[in-house]
Amino acid sequence: MRLFLPLFCLFFSIISLAQPLTRFQTSNGVQTGTYTEVIDWWKKMDAASGMIRMMEMGPTDAGYPLHLVIVSADKDFSIPSAKRKNKSIILINNGIHPGEPDGIDASMLLVYDIIKNKVALPHNVVLAIIPIYNIGGALNRSSFFRVDQNGPEEFGFRGNSQNLDLNRDFIKADSKEALTFTKIFHLLDPDVFVDNHVSNGADYQHVITLIETQHNKLGGAMGQFLSKQFSSALYASMQKKGFDLVPYVNHFGETPDKGWSEFWDSPRYSTGFAALWNTFSFMPETHMLKPYADRVMATKELMKSFIEFTAKNSTEIRQLRLAAKEAQKVQKDFPLAWKWDSTKSKEITFKGYEAGRKQSDISGLPRLYYDRLKPFEVRVPFNNEYADTLSVAKPKAYIIPQGWWKVIDRLKANNVTLTRLATDTIIEVEAYRIESYQSIPRPFEGHHVNNNVRLSKHIKKGAFRKGDYYVEMNTAANRFLIQVLEPNTEDSYFTWNFFDAILGQKEGFSSYVFEETATEFLRNNPSIKAKLEERKKGDSTFAKSAGAQLNFVFQNSPFYEPAHMQYPVFRVLK
């Protein structure tokens, strides 16, 4: 590891004043630009260089457009043209948490160096950059946010204009930012995705850490390539540049000198979302306590490493992605859940500081501290193997009644092919019933999150209306569709409450009236009568409750509404 502030000062001293300068440059690496300054800088670079094109891509909750910058060595900014030329596309996202602006400044410095011919942008790579994703958070600027972070002097806020954490919004898409990002993502169909962040947690020597899409979850040849080649090359490249890159230290207590497990990037996160579309995805996390200039330089060097590796392996990367897309069109079974395998690990080098306890000046009780005068280097186990624990057979198609338009809108945003039924029709389907679920007690990002879902299923003849949506499972969207439409995945639309209306019973009964109806019903349906008696024998609480028994009859009668707990996405099997 080496510190880059002296090198940065030298770099700054030789900058040509003819080029637009960033706030980072003019402040000797202790400040970051405001939203307006950053966008104005990119506009000036667009005007100054034929290699740069800046575009407005769609709305955000802040009322400002989300921008996309394309950097192309041959000055061709057409994405279809780039793909015809067999170019690889790298998408870099910055400022999803504007209090973590390292990527914002690093991207500007990187492109500055490309224009000044200090960094080569290979002709087989197109660089796509979102300058600032969370505009609302960037506008909400202060020197007091992220109290533990070592610079810059002032920066933005984590939440967006709805106070949403946008790095939990890629599936539920409650923000305009997420919907515009989805448009950008599918326009580019990037081969590599990089989402720049700053970490919290334990103190250690490493300037920068890295989250990569969990390779077992990515799966197949892509997962193997990520684990064995892509990842290894990045670590080796950064080592040569003087940075001891280490996997994201997923540890918020004492020094993790006993090792740790790989961060699980579920589809709610940017990298987890991108992996559903067979994109190699990464989340650099610089360390909050390192000087800002060092963090920015580390981020810049890592982005250069991404460019170098992608250029060198462009053909294989594109072929692997194409093969994965084609395979998923015909894949029969898809995993729904994974579990960390604690029996498998690899050894990595961790450079930490000794942790200790001393008396707190606040409470008088023991408190954690790290002794920077006692650095250490140790080999530790890193558990990065996961096994899938639940899978589902892919249906021929899903049918979604048109009333569930919030779900339909999100599928459309993801370019999912949807066909509307031309007439009212009867179709045999497999239907799920929600037998039980749990909701977290406190809201999370505007939702209460349903989990531990238990399902039953049955085959039935479903009556569907003209205009309902038929979603064939024969495209590259298959993996995404399985993850959002199967109700028992960790980030399904059911998990995120889009179908909660089915969980509330709409029709009921007046006991004194239904009592007579229920008596007649049981007289005519002895099998239900027998089930009632059996339940009473086995459940003393039930046997003592007249209301529970009457409700039992109601729920086993044709008077009970079929929509209650009926999951309204249906599977066509043949």
Whether residue 59 contacts residue 176, with contact meaning beta carbons closer than 8 Å, is answered with yes
Determine the average pLDDT of the residues in 161-175.
98
Question: How many angstroms separate the CA atoms of 277 and 311, rounded?
Answer: 21
* Listed range (353-357, 429-433, 469-473) with the worst mean pLDDT: 353-357
Res 17 pLDDT > 70? no
pLDDT in the model for residue 251: 74
Q: Find out whether 316 and 228 touch, Cβ atoms under 8 Å.
A: no
Comparing CA positions, the residue from 229, 267, 235 lying closest to residue 248 is 235
Candidates 445, 564, 433, 571; CA nearest to 508 is: 564
481: its two tokens: 């569709």
Question: What pLDDT is attached to residue 424?
Answer: 98
pLDDT of residue 19: 73
Q: What is the pLDDT of residues 194-227, one digit of tens each?
A: 999 999 889 999 999 999 999 999 999 999 999 9
Confidence of residue 256 (pLDDT cuts 50, 70, 90): confident
Contacts of 224-228 with CB under 8 Å at 24 or more apart are 225/316, 225/317, 225/320, 226/280, 227/384
Q: What is the mean pLDDT of residues 435-439?
A: 97
Is residue 290 over pLDDT 90?
yes
pLDDT for residue 4: 47
pLDDT tens, residue by residue, 29-45: 999 999 999 999 999 99
* Inter-CA distances, 521 with 26, 406, 517, 527, 549, Å: 83, 39, 6, 11, 13
CB atoms within 10 A of CB 271: 26
569: tokens are: 């996405």
What percent of the chain lies above the pLDDT cut of 90?
93
Q: What is the pLDDT averaged over residues 483-504?
A: 98
Picking from 124, 142, 145, 250, the residue whose alpha carbon sits closest to that of residue 192 is 124
d(CA 339, CA 479): 19
Residue 45 in tokens: 């670079």
Coil, helix or strand for 332?
A: coil
The DSSP symbol for 403 reads T
CA distance 157 to 165: 10
> Where does the pLDDT of residue 18 fall: very low under 50, low under 70, confident under 90, or very high at 90 and above?
low
Strand ranges of the sheet holding 346-359, from the earlier edge strand across to the other edge = 260-261, 366-383, 346-359
Please state, in angstroms and as integers, the Cα–Cα distance from residue 536 to each residue in 509, 527, 548, following that order.
Answer: 21, 14, 10
Number of residues in the chain: 574
What pLDDT shows up at residue 342? Answer: 86
pLDDT at 112: 97
Question: Can the peptide bond before residue 152 be classed as cis, meaning omega within 30 degrees of 0?
Answer: yes
Q: Across the chain, what does the average pLDDT equal?
A: 95
Structure tokens that stand for 561 in this block: 């509404």
Pure H helices in 313-424: 314-330, 405-413
CA 507 – CA 511 distance, rounded (Å): 13
193 pLDDT above the threshold of 50: yes
Supply the DSSP symbol for 498: T
Q: Which amino acid is at 262?
A: E
Q: Which two tokens stand for residue 399?
A: 């049918």
Furthest-apart CA atoms within the chain: distance in Å = 95
What confidence tens digit (pLDDT) does each residue in 318-339 have? 999 999 999 999 999 999 999 9
Q: Are 390 and 335 in contact (CB under 8 A)?
A: yes
